[in-house]
Amino acid sequence: MAQISRVLDQEPGDWDRRTHRIGVLADFLADSHLPGSWAGREPRNPSALVLHAWTQVVSARSRGHLEDRTDVIESCLRAAELAPEDPTPWIALLGVARLERWQQPQVFGVWNEVLGRDRWNREAYLSMLNYLTPEECGSRMQVLEFVDGLSARMPANAPCAAVELTAQVFQYHTVLDRGGFEALVARNHWSQAMAAQALDRVAHTWAQPGFLRHARALADLNLLAYALMAADRRREAHPVFEALGGVVSAWPWHTGGDALTEFDQAHRRASAGM
């Protein structure tokens, strides 16, 4: 607990790094009693409360429901009260809202609480993107409106810069999942204007040294490499693979099989295309 506390107390005010660290720890500790024990031992420690709530949300994704929704929501709200400048309690609550399919006015209310504390928070934007998909509580049109609204005002290297490309990969996977002939010609998705433009906007900047500086920059570079290979733009993908230095994120590679295998095969194809 002391070690985790020291990690989460580093670089106060860097909400991007704090969100990243809590997310990584929550994924790792989802089946552990440690976060709950820490929150019980230190009920006025916002880091303990947020980590406990976040791990419960991660666990609930596999179960399909929260074991104790009241406890999780109260942990988020107590943490928000104890650390009013911190966006992470609201991000955890956004996870609850998605799991429970809250109504859109409620969800946007929580999301706005995050943005009031961290304007370009990556996790919050990606959570909202998922919430607005037809698979959750929105529609294809709402996704397009959300992405368009963000793209019009977002800095090119903001932590949430990958939202537009993520939306295109979601759409590409929707086509693949249909199977049959549509899956065979799914690559055509990347020749459509919106998908091609999403790639064009980032293909030659993200891999430049120091351009992306947020905590999950390598995850976004993995997304870019995947999308460029799906679009058969191998020459442009090669420098992205070089910038990654062999660091592989599970998503989106694991959608085609084992993530490491898929990444390695794509890297070899990109290198052969040079």
Q: What is the mean pLDDT of residues 51-79?
A: 94
pLDDT of residue 151: 87
CA distances from 169 to 27, 70, 184 (A): 23, 35, 16
What local confidence, expressed as pLDDT, does residue 274 receive? 59
Residue 132 reports pLDDT greater than 90: yes
CB 67 within 8 Å of CB 60? yes
What pLDDT score was predicted for residue 239? 96
Residue 64 has pLDDT above 70, yes or no: yes
Backbone phi, then psi, for 250, in 5-degree steps? -60, -50
141 or 184, higher pLDDT? 141
Residue ranges of domains in the chain, CATH in brackets: 1-138 (1.25.40.10), 162-274 (no CATH)
Q: Which residues contact 187 (CB under 8 A, 6 or more apart)?
A: 230, 231, 232
Q: Is residue 273 very low, low, confident or very high in pLDDT (cuts 50, 70, 90)?
A: low
Length of the chain: 274
The model's pTM is 0.94
Contact call for residues 175 and 186 (beta carbons, < 8 A):
yes
Percent of the chain with pLDDT over 70: 99
The rounded distance, in Å, linking the Cα atoms of 108 and 114 is 10
Quick count: other Cβ atoms within 10 Å of Cβ 118?
24
Mean pLDDT over residues 32-50, rounded?
96
What value does the mean pLDDT of the chain take? 95
The tokens describing 192, both together, are 């459509």
Q: Amino acid identity, residue 274?
A: M
Q: Give helix 88-99 / helix 46-63 axis angle, nearest 10°.
A: 20
- 198-226 pLDDT, tens digit per residue, is 999 999 999 999 999 999 999 999 999 99
